[in-house]
Structure formats: structure tokens, C-alpha cells
Amino acid sequence: MPPQRYYLPPEWVSHAMTLMTWPDNRETWPGDRLNRAEHVYADILEALTPHERVVLLVANEQAQQAAASMIQKRNVDWNRIRMFRIPVNDVWIRDYGPISLVKTGEGSPKIVLSNWEYNAWGGKYPPFDADNAVPHKLADLLNYPIVDTGMVLEGGSVDVNGAGTLLTTESVLLNPNRSMGDRPAGNEKKEANNQVDNSDKTGAGNRYSGKRGADNGGSDKTESGNGDADENRPAKGGSVKNRSGQGSPDNGPAGRDKATVEEKLKHFFGINKVIWLKDGLKGDDTDGHIDDLARFVSERVVVASVTEDPDDPNYEVLRENLKMLYDATDSKGRPLEIIKLPLPQTLIKGTTVDGSDRVPASYVNFYIANNCVLVPTYDDRYDDEVLRIFQSLYPERYIKGIPSNDLVWGQGSIHCVTQQVVRF
């Protein structure tokens, strides 16, 4: 029997669905910020659902009603959305949601969800245990096998080209604050031949009630979670153990060994080359996710954030990362083709809920879906130019700009709030 092998497909392959979580955390979105974020979500759903199905998580009855009310005002086909009510702490499902892999070596290849430990970017925003439980809950609800990796890793911290090469940053994956929560890997759950074609299982009116919900929505199926909404929600506006960006908590554990991290990435993602960049954007409380810095758009082509303003606090970091990309080769020893994307304005009026006067606004935080690409827009100086670049990169796909300033105020953008489940 051939050995078992996992493989992380690139984002541009066919998707069975996109996972999202409706915003309702008042700590992350105070005052009218919540309604403004909800409008961006409605824009995303309106652009996304003609091209693929969406599994939408809602934390409680109030979030469920808010989502339904806003979506009904838009040109969205409810039959393309499947809604589950389960406990969540916040919206950043790219980071806490399951990462879908292809598993080979035992008969026909199959899709397996992988569960990576999530600790809210190094313990910055407790509590986060409800978010950390989402992968297993979704595996049960969507009837997928799931494998526990035992490693703290967020989906926004890695990007692959589908041909053996992975992009990431040292400031995240080697950060001591990510060692907190690592544990031994587990065995794959639900090994039986129980996977179905989930691309056709979505539908209107599906509800999954959690402990945080006020009632069961007509269902007798409940799930113990992390407590109700009011008990669980410091999130990005609440208690912060370490806001310093690239630093780690005082007296924290030792940083991870790069070779050990690479071994884990190679095993679960099926890659054999890791390109390590250094640091991330100012105002990025993830410590420097790659999905704001540089991403593959095809096997050898990378888009990268740059700024030509030497007074911009991101200038040196982005220049160093760009040089590293130019010096890098892929898993086959070939140089990369780099396409520069201008960095939009990241300085905001006032501050975010955690006191930052900058947000991680980046055109690199796009999302590739079936037949379309959703591109965040922020800055009139650059928006049209960036959309033209993406149209040239994906001439067969619909390119849709989504105004995202009200979303990135919460310190994440379109890629951060979406997570694909791939299909063959």
C-alpha cells in the first residue's frame, strides 16, 4: 500500500464551499462599527454566492436575525447559503477554521479537514476556545474526516503554490507566543467512507443551535460551547496579553525551531520548500501574516505589497521582504515572478479598539473563489490600478472590488473572513 500523504491545494482550485462567520462581537465592532462591518459582509455574500456556496456561522439568535435581515435586502440566493448557529468568539475563520487537504495513499484521494490549534495570535485576545472548537464542529456538521495536527497555526499565516512551495513569515510561525498551545498530533477521525459531495448539501433554513443561542431555532440539536455571547467576547477589543506586534509575552516559552516547523508543514501540506519572509505590517496584530504581504497567484507568480514612500513605517519591512522574494526560488529551483501591489493608506483617524492608529490594509488580502476574485479596495489612488492587475492575472474570472475600510478597521480583511473547502 502506498504511504499516506496530505496535500494543501492552492486557493485557485475548485471549491465545494466557502466558510464565513457573521460579525456580532461588540468588542471588535463597537457602536456603529458593527453595522458597517455587516454591510461589507453583505457585499461579499452578494458577490460570492453566484459563484459558490457559503456556509455561514452565526453565534446566536441575534446574529442569525441580523444576517437574515441584511441578506434579504440584497441580491443573494438563500439556496446558496447554509447557516449554522454554533458558539464562536469572533469572525476570523481564515485563522481558526479548518484547512481542507487532499489525502492520498488509501484508495481514491479524498478531502480531509485539518484542525490546527488556535490561540488568538499568541494569546492576545482571550477567550478563544469557542473559535478553536470550530473545526471539529464543522467536520461533524459537514460530514468530513478531520485530522488533528497538534500545532498552533492560522490559515492566514501560510500560502502555497500547489507545486511544493509555501510562503510564510518568521515573525509568526517562529514566534514564541505560537508555542503556547502546541500539542501532539492526533489520529484522523471518521476514517469510514462517510464523505459525501458537500457541494450539494447546502440549503436555506438550516440551523444549528449552540449554548450561546437564546433558543434552539426549532431544533432539538444543541451543542455545549464556550458559554453565552456576553460571557465570551473580549476578542480584539478586550484583554490583550501582548499587543506589541512582533514581540512575545514576557517570560514566554522558547521560540520554535525552524526545522521542526518545516517538518510539520511538509507533512500536512505536502510541500518541500518553505520561503521565509521576516516581519509584517504595522497594525497587524497577527504578528505578520503572509496574506497581507505576499501570495501566490499561480505556480511561479507572487503578488507582493510595496510602498515607494520612505517615510511610511512599513517601507523597510516591505523592501526587505521584496528582496527576499527576488532572491528566492521555488521547489524546482526556479526564480519567482514578482508583481508589486501598492500599499494603500494604513493610517486611520483615531485608533482601533486596541489602540492602534494603523490597520493592516493590503490588496494582497484578496480571495480567489470559483470563477471570481474578490479584491479589497481602500484607496482611490490605487484601487483601479489594482483591479486591472488582477484582471490581467485572471482574465477568465470575474474581478470584484469590495470596499473594505470598514472591515479592515477590525484588523482583518476579505481573506481573513473567508476559508475555502476544496473539492476534486
Q: Which fold has domain 5-422?
A: L-arginine/glycine Amidinotransferase; Chain A (3.75.10)
- Reported as a single tens digit per residue, the pLDDT across 307-320 is 999 999 999 999 99
- Reported as a single tens digit per residue, the pLDDT across 323-382 is 999 999 999 999 999 999 999 999 999 999 889 999 999 999 999 999 999 999 999 999
Residue 201, SS3 per DSSP = coil
In the numeric block, which cell numbers belong to residue 345?
Answer: 493608506
Contact 326, 362 (CB under 8 A): no
Contact 363, 376 (CB under 8 A): yes
The pLDDT score that the predictor gives to residue 105 is 86
Interval 57-63 mean pLDDT: 97
Contact 7, 114 (CB under 8 A): no
Q: What residues does each domain of the chain span? A: 5-422
The pLDDT score that the predictor gives to residue 235 is 59
Residue 247, SS3 per DSSP = coil
Is the pLDDT assigned to residue 207 strictly greater than 70?
no
Half-sphere exposure of 287 (CA within 13 A, CB side): 27
Q: What is the mean pLDDT of the chain?
A: 87
Beta strands 301-306; 337-342: pairing state? parallel
- Reported as a single tens digit per residue, the pLDDT across 170-183 is 999 999 999 876 77
Interval 145-152 mean pLDDT: 97
Higher-scoring residue by pLDDT: 187, 195: 187
